[in-house]
Chain A
Amino acid sequence: MATLRNSFKEMLRYPSAIIGSVIILLLVIVAIYTVIKIPYNTAINLWRGGEEVWYQNPKFAPPAWINFFSSKKLPVSFAVRTTDGTLNKIVTPGAQGTSTIDISYTFDFQYDDYPQEMLLYFTTQYAQKQPFVSIVWLTPDGRKIRVDDLGVSQKQTLRFSQDERLLQRLNGANPMQALFEDPKTHAIVKGKYQLQITGTTFEPGSDINAEFVFHGQVFGLAGTDQERRDLVLPLLWGAPIALAFGLVASLGTLVLTMIIAAIGTWYGGWVDELIQRITEVNLVLPFLSILVMVGTFYSRSLWVILGVTVLLSIFTGSIKSYRAIFLQVKESMYIEAARAYGASNFRIIFMYLIPRMIPLLIPGLVSSVPSFVFLEASLAVLGLGDPVLPTWGKIINDADTNGALYKGYYYWIMEPAALLMITGFGFAMLGFALDRIFNPRLRDM
């Protein structure tokens, strides 16, 4: 395998090859990490999960780190709950089986804009008598605003922006603004805010648990979409899917094209003619249109699309170039020798013809991956993507359907677009460099 080592050394001479390889390596690592850390079923369940899974996140929220680049700091989302101790809870037993449960949370608000929403999710346990809670809001400048007093059932949600009593108390003002600003100047008051919940239970064994969810305007590493889903999930999972689709399609097409070209060249005659005719017909078939038809009428499953893609990609012009090379090899001396010793046609094709081809095929293999990756993304953007899988194209599709470009949710499109670009360019750069190394006609340059 001296040629392999030589080729490797050659590769090092091209910076594009190095950059491309590094990118691909990183992608593979991310893909492997993702598949291990968030297994397939978990990912699917998360992705398809609705409010129950994602309720803690705001909608259409850009990623939290954009605050670095802006002078106007947007509030970051968070969620705390009593069940894991992030939300402070003190139980004080009282007389006759009652108890007082004090739940409080203090947080520092140093932002220049209001949050989207605040919610309290109560889970209680009781037999007959409902527990009762009193909610009070303490501002940094010493004001105390009573939010609500209510009995809570087993599962109860309180939305600050829609709570009737709070709205009344604030004279119809938007609670998200009123709770955070000075009543006279309407300027945002920054500092430590405290949420106090005083709960009373009336039975032994009765309990109150709460979760305080703060929908800021930014969230997490990648932001959220219209269903509050953390975009990190599809961004991560897009990697293994894109790689899988790209590589399988590329490899599949290559192998099948080669086999068919080899068979055609070897048997010649009507087999060859037939293959030529099929190629001509395939040329006239509108590729994307047919995929659209298949996706709309039959199935949008990734495997089906992959299969049809490969099928339509086999009989293309590349058969002609493989044919040319095969014809050359076919007439060569050692093939004659093989026939002389009685090797079967099958054996000749697979043991002689095809191995000669492999170094010439590698650049094409790598270079065609981006087009398949973008094909999958294209179909997803059209709304024909796999309905179950979280892919980069799906993110763009969701963004487009929700008018992201017009509403200024640029992150939503930029993040998957950037990943698509990096993937595409990574493979393209490597493939390009490989072509200049392996292509004999270019080697003299």
Chain B
Amino acid sequence: MNLAGLTINAARSAIRERKITALSLLEEHYATIQAKDGEIGAYLTLSKERALEQADRIDRMAAEGKALPPLGGLPIAIKDVMSTRGVRTTAGSKSLEKYIPPYDCTAVARMEAAGAIILGKTNCDEFAMGSSNENSAFHPVRNPRDLSRVPGGSSGGSAAAVAADMAVAALGSDTGGSIRQPASFCGIVGLMPTYGRVSRYGLIAFASSLDHIGPLTKTAKDAATVLQTIAGRDPMDSTSADVPVPDYVAELEKPIRGLKLGVAQEYFAEGLVPEVRQAVESAIDKLKSLGCEIVPVTLPHTRYAIPTYYLIATAEASSNLARYDGVRYSRRAAGVKSLSEMYRRSREEGFGREVKRRIMLGTYALSAGYYDAYYLKAQKVRTLLARDFEQAFSRVDAIITPTSPTAAFRLGEKSDDPLAMYLADIYTVTADLAGIPGISIPCGNTQENLPIGLQILGKHFDESTILRVAHAYEQETHAGL
């Protein structure tokens, strides 16, 4: 079976019609991984034993003529920040190099219960902190479209695995753009659901008021299918929302004619590369020609989003990462003589440069004498950012922006300049701060044939509308996928 461009729907039909077994589809994916991943580096751990068991279960059901579960036999990848029982989970960090979780993340468990097969765990920036995947403690990931370039981050391994047909779909996590920006860089679809839409139980925490789990897929319809599986209240995560889950796939077919789409000039400001601007503007024209009304909106606090994000995210991270103490499950330094030395040296050895930088910034922002000036100030500005969206969404159904100001950059290009790296997230952090959903879909290529991403932002719990716009655009521009 040709894996290139293989969608959930196509794979599912092939398995249901018994044209292919779950086992052979799985083996073809492992063969592709074997052939390609040496140079891409998308996977950190393959979970073959668990995958084979699940494939066998699905194939036995098929042989017995039983109805298959909705994702029966689909090989997927899981970002290595989601706990998998019995399968090493590192978060891209040396401090968890040998960690084998005793339980499953809810999103993973739901995917598996729906019949999906977990190929393995994908590479990421350490503790999801980064925008290029260069902060992985193990090895960087290379962009399948151009191996000299980054795949984006922090879900770079998940994006590269899907883009290189080493998985039909993947789960990633998004705290400041970590699903949407790598999806944009790798030319695939990435959806960050509303805060609280998907349980984070079993997700290794980075910044708890900003962390989201969501799908990386080849089409908007696939993203809707995965979201359908993982969305909804989970009693194990008190921040998961008690809000009904619509039928996302059915909702895709509703017309987009008459929808009001906002365009904010703040997302087309300095720093936006002309080629990206052009591609996004022609996508907006295309949506207009499909019957959407384009409405100018203003999001005046946008330029304050990055400083706000880097205070809140690092403050929360400094607290969340205190648990890596070398006592219960994380790396412990050898030859330590006192408890205090054990903590300090274990963390020194276990954490990489960017993680230490963020722990330091966050600890500083929370420390006595600076709390009001930094952390509290950032929380107040967050309110202003959220109000910007509230006001805009009183007039429009969705907002269209570029996902990232540039296409994929080269490895090493920004790795020595933390601020330049942080600015790669300038169009994505706002949605995390406001808790609204956002999707990135491909909208063309640069002259160097690098993918460009279009971002569609929606109202709280209105993933249906942004998926519908994404689907309509996709149908119009690359029909037949």
Genuine A/B complex: no
